[in-house]
Amino acid sequence: MWLLPAVIVIVMVLSIGQWAYAEFSFHNQFSYIDETKVMHILGEIKNESDHSMRNVLITISFYDREENLLDEFTRVPALRVINPGESSPFEILFTDQKAVDDVANFTMLATGQTTELKEKQLKIISANSRLDLLGTYYIYAVARNEGQESATNAIMIATLYDKDGRVIAIGNALAEAGPGSSNITAGSRAPFGIPITEKMQTPKTAKYSLVAESDQYGSDMIVLQASGPGLANGNQTQSGCLIATAAFGSDLAPQVQQLRLFRDGIALKTSAGSSFINVFNAWYYSFSPSVSNYERQTPWIQNIVRTLIYPLLGILSISALVYDLFTFGSELGIVAAGITASSLVGLLYFAPLGIA
């Protein structure tokens, strides 16, 4: 395996009706050959010009030790629009398995079109991650649309870095804004569940970045510390909704993510909510691992738990609306949301037992 040097290039950019010059630079590069003999070239491309760029194409030319051209591949970066001074991750694959061992060097260049600046109206409001024991890195995040129009085709891009700051893996996921929809309406929030499955690289993760983008808007990039095997970064030492995950079959199921959205995007943003979650976790994790393990082996229990969780999701949706009414005070909002949730839970789940 060859670790190939960073490349800084000046490229010609096709603008509408004329040719113009712009500058891109490539950073934090990393390369590896996977178990199928495919070479991965990863890194970040930075827009060094004074204009936003769309339709960016990265072309990489691979050479052997005698500087003979082996092949060329073209790929788009992860972001659709790169604003001035900002970067986007990219990954390019060398798929000629017979020639991959002959690769000694490469060159890169990029082309694109000038476009309007993309407004930063998407805000990433919470995120947590964990590396499972099988090597899959899960990232769960929530973004809010602070713009005046719907953010259509909203996507979140995750970039994993090693201890030296090199890009080692990239993942993305569409917003789960509603059944079959990735459009985040104005003023609302949506969860994103991003699994990254490059198991040769994920254990090396030291930090990760997140950035959101839609057809209309972008977001600022945030950088967070990574988690270790079986753990999640953030305030909780255990962050899994174990019983719900066992019921719905995956911790990326929309129902599980809605539970996390209320916890991470609302409750943990306040002192009162964090205190409650800490007490709740001490109780919940005292029994949930054994219950969830039994649940996975018993389909009829899974069906019962799913039936019980669906009304709870509706209650949390109502409680979230109550919380959003208290824009002047999040602590008061979480208390009001908690009273709403506990009242509805008592009415729905426990009142029938009293009547019986």
Q: Are the C-beta atoms of 215 and 152 separated by less than 8 Å?
A: yes
Residue finishing a domain among 197, 216, 233: 233
Q: Are residues 37 and 143 in the same domain?
A: no
pLDDT at 68 over 60: yes
pLDDT average, residue stretch 77-88: 95
Question: How many domains are contained in the chain?
Answer: 3
Average pLDDT of the chain, as a whole number: 83
Q: Are residues 140 and 223 in the same domain?
A: yes
pLDDT of residue 206: 92
Q: Are residues 109 and 133 in the same domain?
A: no
Q: How far apart are CA 168 and CA 163, in angstroms?
A: 10
Specify if 1 maps to a domain: no
> What residue type is assigned to position 337 of the chain?
A
Query: Residue 180 burial (CB < 10 Å; 0-12/13-18/19+)?
Result: exposed
Say if pTM beats, i.e. exceeds, 0.85.
Answer: no
pLDDT of residue 275: 78
Structure tokens, 116? 């309007």
Which residue bears the tokens 């009273």? 339
pLDDT average, residue stretch 110-118: 92
Count H helices and E strands in the chain, helices first.
7, 16
The CATH number linked to 148 is: 2.60.40.10
Q: How far apart are CA 319 and CA 167, in angstroms?
A: 40
Q: Are the C-beta atoms of 5 and 106 separated by less than 8 Å?
A: no
Q: How confident is the model over 249-281, as pLDDT tens digits?
A: 876 677 887 887 788 777 877 778 877 877 777
Q: Are residues 241 and 349 in the same domain?
A: yes
**Least-confidence region, from 218-222, 224-228, 241-245:** 224-228
Q: How far apart are CA 132 and CA 250, in angstroms?
A: 13
pLDDT of residue 197: 87
Q: Are residues 183 and 243 in the same domain?
A: no
pLDDT average, residue stretch 218-241: 63
Q: Are residues 154 and 91 in the same domain?
A: no
Q: Which domain holds residue 51?
A: 8-115
Q: Are residues 228 and 244 in the same domain?
A: no
Q: How confident is the model over 176-199, as pLDDT tens digits?
A: 887 788 999 999 988 888 889 888
- Residue 229: strand pairing partners: 131
